[in-house]
């Protein structure tokens, strides 16, 4: 793997960890009645290659699973993220 590939992989891993952590934090805040993470922020993190981890975390902890914005929007973002990764592999390496 080239250096750029390692950087891209590290970025995707980092964003996945951030997405999962924010999802869990929002769930805990919801249960405690504390200040929540805005839905726009969650979707932005999902759009920045955190969609798969966020979607999986939401299903595992049963958070926002009744919100169509997340249950339909995150899979769309996963497809877009996958397409960007495919373009990276096919053309930009």
Q: In this structure, are residues 15 and 57 in contact, taking their beta carbons and an 8 Å threshold?
A: no
10, two tokens: 């590290």
Which tens digit of pLDDT belongs to each residue from 22-48?
Answer: 999 999 999 999 999 999 999 999 999
Structure tokens at 40: 């726009």
**Distance, CA of 3 to CA of 20 (rounded, Å):** 26
- What is the domain partition of the chain in residue ranges? 3-92
Six token digits for residue 21:
């952590």
Determine the pLDDT at residue 54: 98
Residue ranges in the chain whose pLDDT is less than 70? 93
Nearest Cα residue to 19 out of 68, 66, 64, 85:
64
């Amino acid at each position: 793997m080239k250096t750029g590939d390692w950087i891209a992989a590290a970025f995707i891993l980092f964003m996945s960890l951030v997405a999962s952590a924010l999802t869990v934090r929002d769930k805990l805040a919801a249960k405690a009645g504390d200040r929540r993470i805005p839905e726009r922020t969650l979707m932005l993190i999902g759009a920045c290659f955190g969609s798969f981890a966020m979607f999986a975390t939401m299903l595992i902890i049963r958070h926002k699973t009744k919100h169509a914005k997340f249950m339909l929007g995150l899979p769309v973002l996963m497809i877009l993220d996958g397409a960007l990764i495919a373009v990276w592999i096919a053309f930009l390496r």
